[in-house]
Amino acid sequence: MKRAVRTLVVALAIAAAAAVAPAQEAGDAYTMDLSRGWEQTSFVDGAEIRRVEYVYGDRSQGLLKVKRIRAEGGQTLEDVVARDVDGSLKFQPGFVQGRQERFAGGSLTGYLVQFDFTRGGKPMLGRFYYLQGSDATVWVLQFTGDRTTLGEIRNVTDQMARSFRER
């Protein structure tokens, strides 16, 4: 009975998140559809650079940062992913490598890297989509958040990544 109720609650949450709204970065570098519950926020960092983030509920529940990486001459997408994982992700507190798989279905294809980590002693989940853009550009959609919340909305993060378009 409890399992049926939980399944129903998850199904309702997924259905509620299915509504989408367009989002675009201030510099018009990309567009993507935001699912219900995700809101765009912006701020100016210490270096006087305007940053855009997307928040699900609050930052601890779900946070999306979009980053652009330039691949160095001769680097493949696989090289960029390996460099990012080995150079920064694995140094997060409590890092545990999860699955890495090919990702497709939208206008850009790439890899999905999933991992567990901790923030302030709380178990968190990271789901990074590395999407091959034009030329030597790799877009990284960095979803992080509460392990339970982010784990239950995998289809929503996949949908948002598939809607991502380079301009």
Residue 75, domain extent? 2-166
pLDDT at residue 135, as a whole number: 83
**pTM, 2 dp:** 0.83
pLDDT at residue 25, as a whole number: 52
Q: Please count the structural domains in the chain.
A: 1
Residue ranges, the chain, pLDDT below 50: 2-19, 26
What is the rounded distance in angstroms from the CA atom of residue 92 to the CA atom of residue 130? 18
What is the rounded distance in angstroms from the CA atom of residue 158 to the CA atom of residue 144? 13
pLDDT in tens, 73-107: 889 999 999 999 999 999 999 999 999 999 999 99
pLDDT at residue 83, as a whole number: 94
What is the rounded distance in angstroms from the CA atom of residue 101 to the CA atom of residue 75? 19
CATH of residue 149: 3.40.1000.10
